[in-house]
Structure 1
Amino acid sequence: MLKSKFDIILLIQKDEWMMELLNAVKSLDLPDWWICAGFVRSKVWDTLHGFEERTNLPDIDVIYYDDINICEEEEKKMEGRLEALIPNIPWSVKNQARMHIRNSVEAYTSSVDAIAKFPETATALGIKMDSHYNLILSAPHGIQDVINLEVKPTPFFAANEKRIEVYEDRVTKKNWELIWSQLKVQHIKS
């Protein structure tokens, strides 16, 4: 069913709601922007589980990279603009040029660099539209884990004991197996 990046792109293209959100974010003209994480991952997992209704998302993660204006107020302004375009969506906008400070890591070099350093490989996904409205899927660790329903840490998280603890806490709290019963979650014992 889902075997390639192209299959995931087609899946998203056929989803009017997802396309509406992508168009809204594109209209902001943010530098190096993506809608990422659960927005893509949950669509894939819902499809692979045969769900007819979309799983509720706690937020819609919009990221961008602007190292000129790293003011958090700018992110809130962008959330407000998105709320005005499409209300009642839990928009979360974050400039990845400042998130390294919050995450206590080396500065990210781009939004894709930040995506590569998300906790799980299956969540390290982003989707955006190019200038011609074609969808582009970023999957720095590939799509195998998300389409094989496997949850494991990214190399960035696996390489550090404190980040492994964050990963373990996160997968425990998220408890995704309650929603998607076919998931295989990898636990790393430190």
Structure 2
Amino acid sequence: MSPSSAIADIIAQDPVAVKQLRAVRELGLPDWCIAAGFVRNRVWDHLHGIFPPRAPVDIDVLYFDAGDVSPEREAAFERRLDGLLPGLPWQVRNQARMHVWKNVPPHRDTADSMTYWLETVTGIGVRLEADDTLTVVAPLGTDDLLNLRCRPTAYGRTRRHEYDARVEAKRWRELWPRVNFID
């Protein structure tokens, strides 16, 4: 089984995750996926034998639409998702505008935007296709996630204090004690 298939299989076994993916698919967003803790936490919970997986703090929905970069559009998508699955911590973000606050070059697409995240294990997303297959979006690869390693991305190394603070604040060492944190 390929690493992407292994991740897709873990997500597909979680009926809550699939339901959330179906809701996002209903929006018809361009170049979308649900990423970050949605994937990372489920995979690490699975690899630590934690069943059912813990609910994520937020559900990071990414998409790329250079034609409408308004925050109001993102809020409208969040309201639609709340109408489909009320009460969930939806966070919808158009990656076509995320480069501005990071002061980096404009992103080419959703996958490119994920290379500017702080750690490799967060830059992985999944998308539920029309035929109900899962596509894994992993511009930084999947090895660290599946091998219980956490390390900063090239971008994260330039912001090491932010990376270290994030790992500490999220309590990852406590929640997943088998993860090896690598410099």
Shorter chain as normaliser: what TM range? Answer: over 0.9
| Structure 2 residue 61 is matched with structure 1 residue 65 | no
Letter in 1 for 2:165: D
- Shift in Å, 1:130: 2.5
Q: 1:169 aligns with which of 165, 169, 173?
A: 165
Which residue pairs with 1:123 in the alignment? 122
- Structure 1, unaligned runs of 5 or more: none
**How far did residue 113 of structure 1 move?**
0.4
Cα separation, 2, equivalents of 1:123 and 1:34 = 13
Structure 1 counterpart of 2:95? 96
Could you tell me which residue of structure 1 aligns to residue 50 of structure 2? 51
For the residues of structure 1 that align with 2:11 and 2:43, how far apart are their CA atoms?
9
Residue 129 of structure 1 and its aligned partner are, at CA, apart by 1.9
Residues 101-157 of structure 1 deviation map (CA, whole Å, 9 limit, x = unaligned): 122221111000011221111111010022333210011121111111111011232
Alignment match, 1:133: 132
User: Secondary structure of the equivalent of 1:97?
Assistant: coil
**Amino acid across the alignment from 1:167:** Y
Aligned to 1:182: 178
- Contact 1:67 1:97 (C-alpha < 8 Å) held by counterparts: yes
The separation in 1 between residues aligned to 2:13 and 2:52, in whole angstroms, is 14
Matched residue, 2:25: 26
Q: State how many pairs are aligned.
A: 183
CA distance in 1, matches of 2:103, 2:28: 28
Counterparts of 2:169 and 2:105, CA distance in 1:
26
Instruction: State the one-letter code of the partner of 2:143.
Output: Q
What is the CA distance between 1:3 and its match in structure 2? 6.2
Deviations 1:32-65 (A, max 9, x none): 1110011001111000100123223110000100
In structure 1, the partner of 2:142 is 143
Q: Could you list the per-position Cα deviations for residues 59-101 of structure 1 after superposition, in whole angstroms to 9, with x for gaps in the alignment?
A: 0000100101000010001000000000121000000011111
Q: What is the 5 A alignment of 1:32-43?
A: 32-43=31-42
Moved over 4 A (4+): none
Q: Which moved more, 1:176-185 or 1:36-45?
A: 176-185
Q: How many angstroms does 1:165 deviate by? A: 2.0
RMSD: 1.4
Does structure 2 retain, via aligned residues, the 8 Å contact 1:3–1:147? Answer: no
Q: CA deviation at 1:166?
A: 1.6
In structure 2, relative to structure 1, the CA distance for the partners of 1:31 and 1:135 (3 Å cut) is same
